């Protein structure tokens, strides 16, 4: 069964996770290759130190392998990885005494630069408006922008967003609501803001 899972074009994260827990190195390698670029990009949104981000992401995967026997079965893998990288970077910053002693990263801005792919939008007028939407998104407060990124670009649930941001469900929902309200107020295009947020980013 494991070989069938690992040979499919669309790999199921839960199946990979289960295989990793049994010590399957191919499953571990597959998960690493699948998420490593995304986690690096997410980590780079917090600190301007690429080598440190790479170390943090690699440490997360190292811990997964070392402690694979103790991994929780009931895990949403993508959310777990994003949350782990976020906390690892916070601890790295804490050790350097750059920010206050915390693993919530409340003191760190989310610097990700949204840029929805123009080539996915055929209408030239809409393309120009999307450029404006990119600017509107990037001008949002950091927490709202991160919440949007996690909810729509990474496809996480509000509960998962709340867990990663270390806030309760209502607070995460409020962040998303305020962000979308602000965008819809300024967005004059015919295309749904939520649909555009779900498109791939450069």
* Residue-wise pLDDT tens digits, 118-132: 555 556 666 677 777
* Residue-wise pLDDT tens digits, 171-180: 999 999 999 9
CA dihedral for 46, 148, 154, 80, sign (positive or negative): positive
* Residue-wise pLDDT tens digits, 65-80: 999 999 999 999 999 9
- Residue 201 pairs in a beta bridge with 116
* Residue-wise pLDDT tens digits, 77-89: 999 999 999 999 9
Per-residue pLDDT, averaged over 106-114, amounts to 67
Query: Given this model, what pLDDT does residue 70 score?
Result: 94
Q: Give the predicted TM-score (pTM) of the model.
A: 0.82
Question: Does the pLDDT value for residue 47 go beyond 80?
Answer: yes
Cβ neighbours for 126, distance < 8 A, ≥ 6 positions apart: 189, 190, 191
Query: Given this model, what pLDDT does residue 113 score?
Result: 72
Question: Does the pLDDT value for residue 51 go beyond 80?
Answer: yes
Contact 154, 77 (CB under 8 A): no
Per-residue pLDDT, averaged over 25-45, amounts to 95
* Residue-wise pLDDT tens digits, 128-155: 777 777 888 889 999 999 999 999 889 9
């Amino acid at each position: 069964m494991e070989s069938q899972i690992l040979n499919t074009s669309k790999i199921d994260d839960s199946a990979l996770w289960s295989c990793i827990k049994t010590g399957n190195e191919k499953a571990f390698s597959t998960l690493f290759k699948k998420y490593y670029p995304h986690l690096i990009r997410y980590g780079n949104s917090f600190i301007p130190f690429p080598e440190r981000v790479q170390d943090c992401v690699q440490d997360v995967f190292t811990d997964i392998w070392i402690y694979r026997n103790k991994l929780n079965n009931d895990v949403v893998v993508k959310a777990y990885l994003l949350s782990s990288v976020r906390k690892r970077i916070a601890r790295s910053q804490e050790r350097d005494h750059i920010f206050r002693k915390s693993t919530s990263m409340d003191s760190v801005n989310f610097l990700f630069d949204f840029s929805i792919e123009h080539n996915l939008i055929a209408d030239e007028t809409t393309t120009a408006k999307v450029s404006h939407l990119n600017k509107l998104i990037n001008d949002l407060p950091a927490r709202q922008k991160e919440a949007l990124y996690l909810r729509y670009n990474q496809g996480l649930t509000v509960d998962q967003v709340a867990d990663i941001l270390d806030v309760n469900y209502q607070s995460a929902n409020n962040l998303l609501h305020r962000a979308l309200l602000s965008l819809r107020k300024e967005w004059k295009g015919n295309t749904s803001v939520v649909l555009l947020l779900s498109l791939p980013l450069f």
